[in-house]
Chain A
């Protein structure tokens, strides 16, 4: 049944989970991890894999706890998320390390050196260290798939959660990979053995669990065998993950393997003391290449001979691209630097909301109705409201609401109280927006909250949102002003925002919530219908640029200042909203 397929790293991990008999899998979408669960959902459906429970959970904490109960029941279970999602799930992570597991439990936390699509470059391996659990660091899609097997086996042997930490260049790399299929998988029945001193341990028992955890970790470290090449070279490079993959290729090309040992570390934590000592004893110079924080490097207690991030040999931030690795290796070995073409210093295109996106009119209207406002924003496509000047802060999932309340309490009583208008997406609202909304109501905060409801988790590839009424949810949080607006009806949207502003700021009644509902046009599976309004630039256009600056639709551009705007017929999706944006009525509708 084995066949060779080209798989995305995330797809390869999903195939690995199925081949290894994972029974409970839960995730919340986030780049670069989203396609793992996406693939599991697809395969469960197309291959009718009944023994596998898959779910897009409401957030990472819930996903973690759900999957962990599977592992408590003796079933192989997995949770996957992006690195900042692990922040959300860090509470159960710390505790689960103590309780341990019965069935194999794998935590897949995808890091994003660069960063490409994240708030931080944080290194999930440090979370593994903090929780005292082992972590595997794959260097390719194929290896990531194989590590699922290692992770489950280690987890079951030592009854401990095991982390796999792929990075963007593994998750979003493609490679030809052998796929075995799942026909061999044996499905055993769940069993839950009651043991309150473990599963519901009080502090006294927690101390004992901690002791057991330390013993497990010592055993895992001593079983963490890392091979050291024996050609007697006195310099060595210790590398893990994609940094290893890049270093290997550079060293192949420069014929360095005779001069320098390249040691590959698959499990960067826990490292056995004996290994670290052997590396130091056998070499005069050691260079550590790893992404993104110095996890291996910190485990050397004596760093006299060790170069890496801590002594500045490797930059302390940013992705270790292969050219950067080449530069580092050359300079560390005293080899002349490579001459390579330098990129032209060109502005790259900033990401922008799609043409016809229902979020765009909302940001336009917020700026128009509340020109002097403070605009707390949130995580999703709509972070791009920053381009329209209607997003002032982006911290983490759900923060817009608590920050709106915080800004209110900070400015309350001040003569120059600015209007506070927060924006959050539907999926993010469910993920982390409900507790801060309740809290805002309870603490008497007053602000306008616009929930940008496009009926999907758009940014990460259109994962489903809970089919629960946002209106009812908002009311249940104690909010009395709740209105639904259609963002394509710009005039009515502006009126509703004005009413909301009056309620929150002039009448000082409380939090006003506007649900701006327009399905995402890119969600092709949903088959929503949209208007077809063909527009054109009339002779009235004086090239003022207001539409380009304030509406920022990719289909409208201003080739030259003070010359008429141009509509790109390929990009324009005929939503017709721009007609109401132009102050000179210079965008007309083709009859």
Chain B
């Protein structure tokens, strides 16, 4: 098992939280995780990008760098259409792009319908899970989301399902 995921969005969109959920899922599955995130001044309304690498515990294909090189990412989760343009070059040939826009999935619209625009990140995560482009099953993500959400668990899980249903419906 070896997967490289780029998560791109704007400061305040919960890119870091989504990354943490995927990383926690990997840990639950007994996989190793290495990731890199944006902090500090760039978080103030700027573009935020996380690099996430997941790999098996058998010593093969070990990642040592916390960064993904251009053309190497298996998946790009773009929480804002800008993210797809700005970080699209990280995707490898045949890599999967999941983008929050009106063409693919209007995660922001769905989140607003649920009554909270801040749920956009979770809606997109649910959609990505249903598209089966991540290393993990949707149920593992649900469990990690539940564990990490505290009092917001119910709201977050509802957002996850709303995104998930966009693929099946």
Contact = CB atoms under 8 A, between A and B. Distances in A.
Contacts of A340: 69-71, 89
B10 interface: yes
Contacts of B108: 570
Interface string A4-45: 111000000000000000000000000110000000000000
The 10 A-B residue pairs with the shortest CB-CB distance in the complex, in nearest-first order: A117-B40, A31-B40, A173-B66, A341-B89, A340-B71, A351-B44, A351-B46, A570-B117, A249-B65, A343-B89
Given A245-B65, A249-B63, A351-B44, A169 B36 contact: yes
How many A residues touch the partner, as a band? 35 or more
Given A117-B39, A343-B88, A384-B41, 5 more contacts: A6-B27, A116-B40, A169-B67, A340-B89, A570-B108
A155 B36 CA distance: 30
B10 A172 contact: no
A137 B61 CA distance: 24
Contacts of A353: 44
Interface string A42-74: 000000000000000000000000000000000
A342 B89 CA distance: 6
Interface of B: 10-11, 19-20, 23-24, 26-27, 32-47, 62-71, 82, 85-91, 108, 112, 117
Contact of A346 (B10, B38, B41, B86): B86
Contacts of B44: 351-354, 381, 384, 459
15 contacts: A169-B67, A172-B36, A172-B37, A173-B36, A173-B66, A174-B23, A174-B37, A322-B67, A340-B71, A346-B86, A349-B45, A349-B46, A354-B45, A570-B112, A570-B117
Contacts of B24: 6
A348 B39 contact: no
A373 interface: no
A248 B24 CA distance: 25
A323 B69 contact: yes
Contacts of B11: 351
Contacts of B90: 341
B33 A460 contact: no
Contacts of B47: 348-349
A248 B89 contact: no
A111 to B, nearest CB: 14
A350 B10 CA distance: 11
Given A249-B63, A326-B69, A341-B91, A6 B46 contact: no
Given A6-B23, A348-B46, A349-B46, A341 B39 contact: no
A235 interface: no
A454 interface: no
Nearest to A82: B40
Contact of B45 (A169, A174, A351): A351
B23 to A, nearest CB: 5
B33 A176 contact: yes
Contacts of A266: none
Contacts of B23: 6, 174
Interface string A327-354: 0000000000000111110101111111
B30 to A, nearest CB: 9
A248 B65 contact: yes
Contact of A348 (B33, B65, B86, B112): B86
A526 interface: no
Contacts of B38: 116, 172
Interface in A226-267: 242, 244-246, 248-250, 252
A140 interface: yes
Nearest to A344: B85
A109 interface: no
Nearest to A461: B39
A525 to B, nearest CB: 15
Nearest to B70: A340
B121 to A, nearest CB: 13
A321 interface: yes
Contacts of A322: 65, 67-69
A340 B71 CA distance: 6
A383 B40 CA distance: 13
Contacts of B89: 340-344
A350 B46 contact: yes
Interface string A303-338: 000000000000000000111001000000000000
A239 to B, nearest CB: 11
A245 B45 contact: no
A269 B24 CA distance: 37
B41 A351 contact: yes
Contact of A245 (B35, B66, B117): B66
Interface in A74-107: none
Contacts of A176: 26-27, 32-33
A292 interface: no
Residue among A249, A250, A350 having the largest count of chain B Cβ atoms under 10 Å: A249
Given A32-B40, A173-B35, A341-B89, A321 B64 contact: no
Interface string A206-228: 00000000000000000000000
Given A172-B37, A341-B91, A570-B117, A242 B69 contact: no
A176 B57 CA distance: 11
B58 to A, nearest CB: 15
